[in-house]
Amino acid sequence: MRNKYTFAATLLAATMLSGAASAKTLVYCSEGSPEGFDPGLYTAGTTFDASPRTVYNRLVEFKKGTTEIEPALAESWDVSDDGLEYTFHLRPDVAFQTTDFFTPSRTLNADDVVFSFERQLKDDNPWHNYVAGGAWEYFNGMGFPDLISSIEKVDDMTVKITLKQQEAPFLANLGMDFASIVSKEYADKLEADGQMQMMNQQPLGTGPFEFVAYQTDAVIRYRAHDEYWKGREKIDDLVFAITTDAAVRAQKLAAGECHIMPYPNAADVAGMKENPDLKVMEQEGLNIAYLAFNTQMAPFDNAQVRKALSKAINKEAIIDSVFQGQAKPAKNPIPPTMWSYNDAIEDDSYDPEAAKKMLEEAGATGLSMKVWAMPVARPYMLNARRAAELIQSDFAAVGVNVEVVTYEWAEYLSRSKDVDRDGAVLLGWTGDNGDPDNFLHTLLGCDAVGGNNRAQWCNEEFDALVNKAKRTSDRDERTRLYEEAQVVFKREAPWVTLDHSLVVMPMRKEVEGYVMDPLGIHSFSGVDIAE
């Protein structure tokens, strides 16, 4: 292992030192080690930061700081009238990175695109199982195997993808990290050398930075891709200094050992804002935390009971206590930064007296229930146990007796899907692609009962609206359908919508051009350091 990169390292050391005086290096104190570097195999944001967003590009990408799609490796595309055929026209002269471990002989073409998807789609592709248990988790999670009928090379620079049914969010899905385009030429060489596992250790793509080396659990080094199709980056070197503890990251940032860090402790943010060497960027995250009742079980099959309990929860108290104010109360099942967010909807106001009365009217007095608290911190819910205890006392005030339960994380995720599950589950979601379908259909559709739909809620009216929106390509029409679906959701209250957390990015004053990504990914393309 060591030998494999020793030679490359020596070369790099020589180049880095020779240009050390003028080289601009951006150091990012990242929160963890990437699981690997193959963009298709994983689902964690930490891995996306380290590989797809630095080394790779996709056919289409999200416009910086938004969830809108823009052309990337595909210069343009046509969609057939029936919405089933997508023809992508590739950008000419897109160079792959020339690195110490591979020198490409050609630029991007249709073979690369077809290969990038077929290795995830087809069981008989030699790359489908190149690592044991390599799950292509996102590709499957987004339902691509059931959606894609074929991927064909029309000519060198044209690729046609045919779908089995209409799917309006398809383009947005192609902007996601798992859909990154890898080099077929590099893959062929690795295969011929019997080194296929290196695809997951030494990534090579068309993106803004090329991979230099990874010292396990310590440092990842990249340098600017000289022939990047959008133009070379302003910084020369990019370094991820892996620092798992948030308090230590904060100290490193303050000491100038790194320029930028993610996920500060909520309690440290105020101090950072006062530090004259630092600046703090904030944005509402594309996420939601919720409390999902089991709507198939009495008395929670009664919307009035659910509404009453929704009115019994003091969301502001949860936000103050769990997030130190770094969150916003949620009224809809999608975050406010997402298109089609229905701002006209009014939230259930916190009113214990009214809640008590509603419960009495519904005949649900002397109620006892379980509230499930996740055992881990997630971006949308930093301390579920604390939130559950607050809910426990809020519910006690309206005469509902709560037992807080928790399980190990995998167990929690698995048991909470069960249709016969007892009690209300605290959980949440972070958007994948900025499409409302990714929340409303994925989490609340009838198909997802017994799966992602933790409320086990199947409402015909709601389901018809989101399914219609899924098959409609007109954005205005989709917006209207989703707005209407949110009205149905609020009326029926399968969840208590709790909060949308704020994403906070502290950085040194000299960092310029950093744009926060609503999808929570950290991308350093376009960033500069002031002299």
What is the nearest approach in angstroms of other proteins to the Cβ of residue 528? Answer: 19
Should residue 5 be labelled a site residue for other proteins when binding is judged by CB under 8 A?
Answer: yes
Is residue 410 a contact residue for other proteins (CB under 8 A)?
yes
**Which stretches within 362-408 are classed as H helix?**
384-397
Contact status: 405 vs other proteins (CB under 8 A): no
What pairing do the DSSP bridges indicate for beta strands 287-292 and 424-430? Answer: antiparallel
Nearer to other proteins by Cβ, of 147 and 515: the residue is 147
Q: Interface with other proteins by CB under 8 A: which range of 75-83, 249-257, 316-324, 518-526?
A: 249-257
| 201 near other proteins (CB under 8 A) | yes
Main-chain phi, psi angles of 508, to 5 degrees? -70, 150
Task: Give least dist CB 260 to other proteins, A.
Answer: 14
User: What are the φ/ψ torsions at residue 49 (nearest 5 degrees)?
Assistant: -60, -40
Nearest approach in angstroms of CB 173 to other proteins is: 13
Of 18, 22, 105, 216, which lies in the binding site for other proteins, with binding defined by CB under 8 A? 216
Which part of the chain contacts other proteins (CB under 8 A), choosing from 16-24, 62-70, 263-271, 497-505?
16-24
DSSP state, residue 478: H
Nearer to other proteins, 76 or 244 (CB): 244
Any contact of residue 476 with other proteins (CB under 8 A)?
Answer: no
Give the shortest CB-299-to-other proteins separation in angstroms.
Answer: 26
Q: How far is the CB of 143 from other proteins (least distance, A)?
A: 10
- CA of residue 219 relative to chain centroid, distance: 23
Measure the CA–CA gap between 430 and 435, rounded to whole angstroms.
11
Chosen residue from 152, 451, 471, 512 binding other proteins by CB under 8 A? 451
User: Per CB under 8 A, does 245 bind other proteins?
Assistant: yes
Is residue 393 within the footprint of other proteins (CB under 8 A)? no
Q: Which of residues 152, 316, 411, 474 is near other proteins by CB under 8 A?
A: 411
Instruction: Using the minimum distance from each CB to other proteins, give the nearer residue, 16 or 79.
Output: 16
Candidate residues 84, 95, 121, 135; the one interacting with other proteins per rule CB under 8 A: 135
Exactly one of 205, 423, 428, 445 binds other proteins (CB under 8 A); that residue is 428
Q: In this structure, which amino acid lies at residue 308?
A: A
Distance between CA atoms of 404 and 391, rounded to whole angstroms?
9
DSSP string, 176-229: SGGGPPPPHHHHHHHHHTT-GGGGGTS---SSSEEEEEEETTTEEEEEE-TT-T
**Residue 60, φ and ψ in degrees, nearest 5:** -125, 155
Binding residue for other proteins (CB under 8 A) from 44, 154, 267, 396? 44
Element (H, E) at 313: none
Q: Say how far residue 471 (Cα) sits from the centre of its chain.
A: 23
Residue 52 neighbours by CB under 8 Å, 6+ apart: 39, 58, 177, 178, 180, 207
Instruction: Give me 227's structure tokens.
Output: 């022939």
DSSP secondary structure string, 23-68?
A: --EEEEEESS--S-S-TTT---HHHHHHTHHHH---SEEEPTTSS-
Q: Interface with other proteins includes 218 (CB under 8 A)?
A: yes
Q: How far is the CB of 428 from other proteins (least distance, A)?
A: 7
Determine the size of the site formed for other proteins (CB under 8 A).
68
Instruction: Find out whether 424 and 372 touch, Cβ atoms under 8 Å.
Output: yes
SS3 298: coil
Q: Which of 154, 247, 267, 377 binds other proteins (CB under 8 A)?
A: 247
Q: With binding defined as CB under 8 A, does residue 103 bind other proteins?
A: no
The answer to the question of residue 481 lying near other proteins (CB under 8 A) is no
Task: List residues bridging with 158 in a β-sheet.
Answer: 89, 155
Q: Of 10-18, 49-57, 457-465, 478-486, which segment contacts other proteins by CB under 8 A?
A: 10-18
Contact window for other proteins (CB under 8 A) among 8-16, 290-298, 351-359, 505-513: 8-16
3-state helix, strand, coil in the chain (%, to 5): 35, 20, 45
Interaction between residue 191 and other proteins (CB under 8 A): no
Token pair recorded at residue 509:
């004053």
Binding site for other proteins (CB under 8 A): 1-2, 5-7, 9-10, 12-13, 16-17, 20, 25, 27, 32-33, 35-36, 41, 43-44, 129, 131-135, 137, 140-141, 197, 200-201, 215-219, 221, 239, 241-245, 247-248, 251-252, 254-255, 257, 378, 407-411, 413-414, 417, 427-430, 448, 451-452
